[in-house]
Each structure stands twice: as C-alpha cells, then as structure tokens.
C-alpha cells in the first residue's frame, strides 16, 4: 500500500522488489474521510498519487531487467491499446483474482466482498485451500460480482448515450469542437 508514511520511499519500495526479482502491486490509500480509525492520516491526494506513480513508472522504464509493477503495467497496456484503436480490456474475476483478503484466522474472502458471509470462499490454512476456487461458494461470489459489473456497464452505456446526444445539440454556427466518438459498452467489456 502506498500511504502518507511511505510516500517518500517509492524508490526504496521498487528497489526492494526489483532486487528480489518479484512482481508487485502498489495501491494507494486515497484521502477520503477516514475519521479517527486505523487509516486516519494515511490517505494521499490525487496529485501525490500521480507524482508517485510517475516516479515509479520512470524507475520501471529505466530498469534493464523487467518485473511487472502494477498498476504501471496496466496503465501502459491501456494506453497502447487505446493508441492502436484496440478494444479495452475488462476485469473478469473468473479468469483470475488480483487480490484475496485473508483474515488472521485464515478465513479467505474475495476482494469486493471482504468479511461478508457471501464473500467467504474458504480457509487459507485448510489442506485444500487452493481448491477453494473450485467450490460452490467461490462460484457464487463470481456470479454476484459479474452481476454488479453488468450493472456498471449499463450505467456507463446510459451515460455514454446521454453524452453523445448532448454533444449533437449545439447550433451549426457553434465554435465548439466536433464531438469525439463515444465508446460502446462492448468496448468496455473487451469484446
């Protein structure tokens, strides 16, 4: 996690994982109202996150040996796909999890449903922990997450349609630039 207390150590974080030859992900804690809880004072502003990610990207690019550093690799792939006119990629938890939450007692949850009975997929310390991905409980979490993602796609499609319609409204003598073509929902799904 990238937060207030390690923000000035982005280079050290990269150097540590680079020396191990291990891919890693650096996720920022954003400056939302965290109250007085355990995240109080750790959140970062968007400009701080942007500067840290830029520094991290510079380190990745300058390194002779490559390791995967997320979200930098994802940002680069997204930009390249956009420049080539290729459809965007969508996250599908059924093709691999990017994170699991493991509680101190070993209870394991999918990222989006942490600490809820619906999100529990098994116990990490159980002998068949890897088999948790083949359980009916995991299949239920995947179905629920895909349903939520589908709701987001519908919302984005409505927004895109409304934005496209609104762009057509200016009079013919308007000085506004021509509207950019809005991506279709199929593009967001990576199809």
C-alpha closest to that of 7 among 40, 39, 48, 57? 48
The pLDDT value given to residue 58? 96
Q: What's the number of domains the chain is made of?
A: 2
Same domain, 159 and 139: yes
- Model confidence, pTM: 0.53
Alpha carbon 149 to chain centroid distance? 13
The pLDDT value given to residue 36? 56
Same domain, 36 and 68: yes
Domain final residue, candidates 50, 84, 118: 84
Strands 107-110, 100-102: pairing kind = antiparallel
Same domain, 29 and 49: yes
Domain that holds residue 153: 93-167
The pLDDT value given to residue 95? 73
Residues of the chain with pLDDT below 50 are 166-191
In a domain, 44, yes or no: yes
The two structure tokens encoding residue 126:
């159980």
The pLDDT value given to residue 172? 41
The pLDDT value given to residue 116? 74
Please tell me the distance from the alpha carbon of residue 144 to that of residue 112, in angstroms, as a whole number: 10
The pLDDT value given to residue 64? 94
Q: Where are the alpha helices (DSSP H) in 63-94?
A: 72-84
Same domain, 97 and 66: no
Same domain, 67 and 112: no
In a domain, 136, yes or no: yes
In a domain, 172, yes or no: no
With beta carbons less than 8 A apart as the criterion, state whether 26 and 70 touch.
yes
């Amino acid at each position: 996690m990238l937060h207030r207390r390690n923000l000035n150590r982005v280079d050290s974080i990269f150097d540590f994982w680079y020396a191990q030859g291990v891919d890693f992900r650096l996720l920022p804690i954003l400056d939302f109202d965290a109250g007085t809880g355990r995240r109080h004072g750790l959140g970062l502003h968007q400009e701080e996150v942007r500067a840290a990610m830029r520094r991290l990207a510079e380190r990745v690019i300058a390194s002779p040996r490559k390791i995967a550093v997320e979200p930098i690799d994802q940002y680069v792939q997204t930009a390249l796909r956009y420049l080539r006119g290729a459809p965007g990629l969508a996250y599908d938890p059924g093709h691999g999890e990017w994170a699991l939450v493991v509680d101190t007692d070993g209870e394991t949850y999918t990222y989006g449903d942490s600490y809820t009975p619906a999100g529990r997929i098994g116990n990490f310390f159980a002998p068949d922990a890897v088999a948790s991905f083949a359980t009916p409980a995991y299949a239920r979490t995947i179905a629920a997450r895909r349903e939520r993602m589908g709701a987001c796609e519908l919302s984005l499609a409505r927004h895109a349609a409304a934005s496209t319609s609104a762009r057509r409204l200016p009079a013919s003598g308007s000085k506004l630039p021509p509207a950019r073509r809005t991506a279709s929902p199929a593009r967001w799904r990576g199809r």
